[in-house]
Amino acid sequence: MSENTETPVQSGAADAVRPPTFEELTPSERAERIPQQIFDLKKDEPAFIFSKDNLLMIKRYEAAVRRLPSSREELAGTLDFAAVGLEIDDVHRFYDNLRTHVNGWDDIEDACKKMGSELQVFAETLFTEGVAFIAELKSTDAWASLESTSLNDIDLEKAPPVPLSRKDTATFKEGVDSYLKDIESQIKERLKSIRHVKALTDRFADVIGSHLKPTADGLLKAMNKKDVSLEVQKIDLELTELDNAIERKLDEYNGLVGASFYGLVFGPVGLLITGGIYGAQAEEVRAEKNTLIARREASAVRKSKLLAQSESFELTKRLIMDLQFRLVEVRTAVKNLEDVWVLLEVYVEQSLAQLEKVDTQVMLKKFVRQFQRVISPWKDILGISKTISKLFNETIVS
């Protein structure tokens, strides 16, 4: 495999070396370095795509939506919609759209768990069978001729090349046919899997920006036009007036009831009761007081509903905005994982295309060294399927 070997890129200072850019890396160097960097970056995030914090936030959003009134009748009892400038049908439709949105989360979770299992199998195959493939190549006479050589890739090219024997060539090509070509087909399948996850997460995120957030903004704007705070102030004035009226009725009632024998008449057959035990006027005052208390309770409930519904809309919007922000990270993580497969696919395809160039002991050793560096990072994600399932199952929001 004839590739340009990696060379440091000098900066302005004589002794300073900057890392090469992505464009400056060869396909094999990309397949070596980038998966390792991504795996290192994600080592503290067991779900690989979702951090635990982001997953908890999504679960909170899901739980909040599940608690919303599910029927129009149930919703109608939660708020005086006219008082806040909203149409009940608009709110009901918005809640239905939120429920449809969170229902799509189950598909993402299932796809991620499936992808994790597939990633586990692929990593095991790539690494364990890759080690066996390398062991076969190291058993060749060509490898033995350079076994004691510790030259780096650049100096290795200076070693006198010796053509591979027919036996070593057959060993190499048989290994490639049984291993690399199988890996190539597996990569294509894994790309389908990650692109399915990507499509699901993209759709989940796009609905927020294109529909849910604008709808939430519109509902809140309508509420702000009506100014719920003014409506609450009116209710507060009503409550104050009712409190004063109730206090007056209480004083009046105490005055009437304070007369021990008010409304009592002694007749020939003993004690007669007229208009209730405390008298008709006292009973009338008590009834009026009870009516005022009932009116006050209704106003207090109305105020509570106004404040609660306003807070509910604000909370929903905050959750939507937070979710939109966090899904940027999720989409980036999915894209990074897709890039890992693409880079590996390019490396394998290039390796297969350049097999004829591996015709000397020097090229064989370079191939083995390079291949070892490519498969090495995949050892770091063995067991990932267990941690993905565990994280999804344990992330429960009360």
- pLDDT, greater one: 362 or 96: 96
Please choose, from the candidates 354, 396, 348, the residue with its C-alpha nearest in 3D space to the C-alpha of residue 375.
348
Q: Please say whether the dihedral angle defined by the alpha carbons of residues 17, 18, 20 and 23, taken in this order, is positive or negative.
A: negative
* Residue 10 within any structural domain of the chain: no
* Residue 271 within any structural domain of the chain: no
Q: What is the CATH number for 362?
A: 1.20.1170
DSSP 143-167: HHHTTT----HHHHTTSPP-BPPHH
Residues 331, 337, 339, 344, Cα dihedral to 10°: -170
Predicted model pTM: 0.69
* Residue 369 within any structural domain of the chain: yes
* Residue 275 within any structural domain of the chain: no
* Residue 216 within any structural domain of the chain: yes
What does the pLDDT read at residue 47?
54
What does the pLDDT read at residue 291?
87
Per the CB < 8 A criterion, the answer to whether 300 and 232 are in contact is no
In this structure, what token pair is assigned to residue 181? 């070509």
* Residue 251 within any structural domain of the chain: no
* Residue 218 within any structural domain of the chain: yes
Q: Structurally, how many domains does the chain consist of?
A: 1
Q: pLDDT averaged over the chain? A: 78
Interatomic CA distance for residues 1 and 27, integer angstroms:
12
% of the chain with per-residue pLDDT over 70: 76
In this structure, what token pair is assigned to residue 182? 């199988």
pLDDT tens-digit map of 207-255? 988 999 899 888 878 877 766 667 777 877 887 888 888 878 777 776 6
Which domain covers residue 380, as residue numbers?
A: 24-226+315-394
* Residue 328 within any structural domain of the chain: yes
The 3-state DSSP class for residue 289 equals: helix
E strands, 15-70, in order: 17-18
Residue 48, C-beta contacts closer than 8 angstroms, at least 6 positions apart: 42, 116, 119, 333, 337, 381, 384, 388
Interatomic CA distance for residues 372 and 365, integer angstroms:
11
